[in-house]
Chains A and B, each alone.
Chain A
């Protein structure tokens, strides 16, 4: 036990340097998100809400990637499970016209245990593997869950999806739903931040950097990985829960492998090595998707070239550039 805390202390010092940039970035982002509705027009709220929801999705993914060193190619399954749980509860209530705020909040929260359970089953098998095998097994499970949702018409309405979702009257206005999303995502992010800086979080990093040494220390590697996988799945489920009432409908594409790619892009674009990286990535990726399509029918080419440039020239993501610049500046001063 004391060994563990010793270990944590030493890692804390090592990790602080890398993590510190996330604090100012998160603060700046928080201010920007609070002020965002000052920009005129309703569409900015649509984009802002999407950035926040997908940002939380990407943050949850980075728990597995950035902190545990594995890649899940099936993370959308948990986002989708959450989205469908909330949608299936809300749809009949909304249609009946009696959706109260408390019921709505409960429906959002109900997504968490369902996604957690899904992640527990998938994770149980995945954590036995690492690297490409971990990635491929998570993808295979993701596709299986996608297939179940796609085919189980009597329960999920198949590929038609579920329509007629709506926030309760109190949260219905776009600006209110935006701030509601902001609060939920901010709380979730704070919780994630706390997790990554707990002894558990440092154990994860040790696991990422040196799995063999972690095992020698008497840590049950699989157990730690499984707990983390379930945590990541739960937060993805929370993000998914927010999606249906925002988009007014859910469909199986939310669980497909292309959707699983979204948090991967966001983490890498923003910087998977930084806690705030995925959020920054969500701003870039969602922003591009929301605005590029207005100006060119060659949006895939445009977005493809942007991604290509980022992979080639910003290997550590946007935040690593900021970080490097700040460090250079600091060194430059006497």
Chain B
């Protein structure tokens, strides 16, 4: 086991990250020489942070996307004749930098599609640019519901559950547990930024509808990048709620969990619905409190029935070894590349307008099964996965208990419910 873990750590080696990023240049260059004239390459910009907090969650997509591109290029690229070239850029998790890099890729590198980003604020800044230059944006990590609703553009597609869907899915699971365990009072702790505020608001209002007798005792807000949650943890425990809803993501989530456990937090209160992508399940394998209810967007271990999931794992592990797995983000970004291939094949053209029209409302094969984009806002009708964190003999890290796994379909939890209502909140664009 300890050897296993050691080799796993080595497996996600820094050099591979670097090599993969640099190799993307090679992926880009090689096919160009080998193909006949007139075979225009299809350039795709990958806009993810490789510095700062977001880098931890962008590592596997950055490492893995060249493998997917190479696999498609082996078949000659899109339509068998347009090899994919990937161009990687660091958005530094700053909206203004994201907008500049998007312009740079569109104007200098002539990309037809941009994949990314990590932060919703960056994605929304980039959305303005892709709309203007008529370039596709395939987003998966950044998941503010504003991307598909208020700020909708026909050029942006969201391939993961959005923030509102994620919170609604958590309500489904929590409502079940309220019935089982007789919970009465709860508090929320959220990160004080848009995603945290939004997730908390949706959770509180939807839980209020499903279970009006459950009382919200207090809201706590911590700042983004908080390193010491102790004061929050002790304050919450002093209030003795039955459960706590946490709207904390990324590294701050890891910090919170690492500080909550030795403070006896999980001995005192339940903590359902925490966002635990495979990245966290692997990194926090030793410390994650077993039994808490986590939420995932594309956890491969729950998706082994789907051929694409198995294909992604095979591709990824062939390069990075049997001890590393593609996380939710990698799987969703792989999906976006394959979705593009499927649509281009169906359309028989790489022209952006044709591809965009064909993708709108289309059903695509993904690692999460066959899923359709919603006609009115390009939100993929994809599930959220919730389950209790348990150990398993199959992997050297905990997974969601297959026996208690709750899969909440996109269409069952997205709001607004009808497309007419969606169109009403979409701001008109020039």
A188 to B299, CA, bound (A): 55
Is the CB of B200 closer than 8 A to any CB of chain A? no
Task: Determine how close the nearest CB of chain B comes to the CB of A165; give it in whole angstroms.
Answer: 8
Q: Digitize B85-103: 1 where CB-to-A-CB distance is under 8 Å, 0 elsewhere.
A: 0001110001110011101
Report if A214 contacts B (CB, 8 A). Answer: no
Contact B108 A294 (CB under 8 A): yes
User: Which B20-70 residues sit within 8 Å CB-CB of chain A?
Assistant: 21-22, 50-51
Report whether A163 and B104 are in contact in the complex, using a CB–CB cutoff of 8 Å: no
Report Cα–Cα, A153/B101, bound state, in Å: 27
Measured between beta carbons, the chain A residues less than 8 angstroms from B94 are 251, 253
Q: Is A160 touching B132 in the complex (CB atoms < 8 A)?
A: no
Q: Is A114 an interface residue (CB 8 A)?
A: no
When the two chains form their complex, are residues B428 and A247 in contact, meaning their CB atoms are under 8 A apart?
Answer: no
Q: Which residues of B contact A159 (CB under 8 A)?
A: 121, 193-194, 224
Q: Is B128 an interface residue (CB 8 A)?
A: yes
Say yes or no: B22 contacts A249, CB within 8 Å.
no
Q: Which residue of A lies closest to B25 (CB)?
A: A295
Contacts of A161 in B (CB 8 A): 95, 121, 124-125
CB-nearest residue of chain B relative to A50? Answer: B100
Give Cα distance in the complex from A251 to B119, angstroms. Answer: 12
User: A241-259 interface mask toward B, CB cutoff 8 Å, 1 = contact, 0 = none?
Assistant: 0010001110101100000
**Contact of A95 with B95 in the complex, beta carbons under 8 Å:** no
Q: Given that A163-B127, A297-B90 are known contacts, is A251 also in contact with B427, CB under 8 Å in the complex? A: no
Q: B352 in the interface, Cβ–Cβ < 8 Å?
A: no
**Contacting residues, chain B, for A287 (C-beta < 8 A):** none
The chain A residue sitting closest to B151, CB to CB, is A163
Least CB distance from A272 to B in Å reads 24
User: For chain A, which range describes its interface: under 10, 10 to 19, 20 to 34, or 35 or more residues?
Assistant: 20 to 34
Question: Is A158's CB under 8 angstroms from B197's CB?
Answer: yes
CB nearest to A45 among chain B residues: B107
What residues of A have a CB within 8 angstroms of the CB of B21 in the complex? Answer: 297
Contacts of B104 in A (CB 8 A): 43, 46, 290, 293-294
Structural contact, B51 and A153, CB atoms closer than 8 A: no
- Inter-chain contacts of A247 with B (CB < 8 A): 96, 99-100, 125
- DSSP majority for the A interface? helix
Residues of B within 8 A of A166 (CB): 430
Interface residues of B in 178-232 (CB under 8 A from A): 192-194, 197, 224
CA distance A27 to B96 in the complex (A): 30
Q: Which of B50, B132, B427 has the most CB of A within 10 A?
A: B427
- B430–A94 touching, CB < 8 Å: yes
A300 to B120, CA, bound (A): 23
Closest CB of chain B to A290's CB: distance in Å?
7
Residues A160 and B90 in contact in the complex (CB < 8 Å), given A95-B428, A151-B192, A248-B99: no
A to B contact number (C-beta, < 8 Å): 93
Tell me if A297 and B18 are in contact (CB < 8 A): yes
* CB-CB under 8 A for A164 and B90, given A43-B108, A95-B427, A249-B99: no
Residue B146 at the A interface, CB < 8 A?
Answer: yes
Interface centre among B107, B120, B151, by most A CB within 10 Å?
A: B107
Q: How far is the CA of A41 from the CA of B88 in the complex (A)?
A: 21
Say how far A271's CB is from chain B's closest CB, in angstroms: 26
In the complex, whether B429 has a CB less than 8 A from a CB of chain A is: yes
Bound-complex Cα distance A314 to B100 (A): 29
Does B129 touch A at the CB level, under 8 Å?
yes
B108 touches A41 (CB 8 A): yes
Contact A163 B124 (CB under 8 A): yes
* Residue contact B144 to A160, C-beta cutoff 8 Å: yes
Give per-residue flags for A139-170: 1 if the beta carbon is below 8 A from chain B beta carbons, else 0. 00000000000110100011111011110000
Q: Are B151 and A164 in contact (CB under 8 A)?
A: yes
The residue on A at minimum CB distance from B120 is: A160
**Nearest Cβ on chain B to A163's Cβ, whole angstroms:** 5
- Please indicate the chain B residues that have their CB under 8 angstroms from the CB of A200 in the complex: none
A153 CB to closest chain B CB (Å) equals 6
Task: Name 10 extra pairs, CB < 8 A, besides A46-B107, A163-B127, A163-B151.
Answer: A41-B107, A95-B427, A151-B192, A159-B121, A160-B144, A160-B146, A164-B128, A251-B94, A294-B108, A297-B18
Q: List 27 contacting pairs A-B, 8 Å CB cutoff, sorted by A.
A: A41-B107, A94-B430, A153-B194, A158-B194, A159-B224, A160-B120, A160-B124, A161-B95, A161-B125, A163-B125, A163-B128, A164-B128, A243-B96, A248-B128, A248-B129, A249-B96, A249-B99, A249-B124, A249-B128, A253-B95, A290-B100, A290-B104, A293-B104, A294-B104, A294-B108, A297-B18, A300-B51
Q: Which residues of A contact B (CB under 8 A)?
A: 41-43, 46, 50, 94-95, 97, 150-151, 153, 157-161, 163-166, 243, 247-249, 251, 253-254, 289-290, 293-294, 297, 299-300
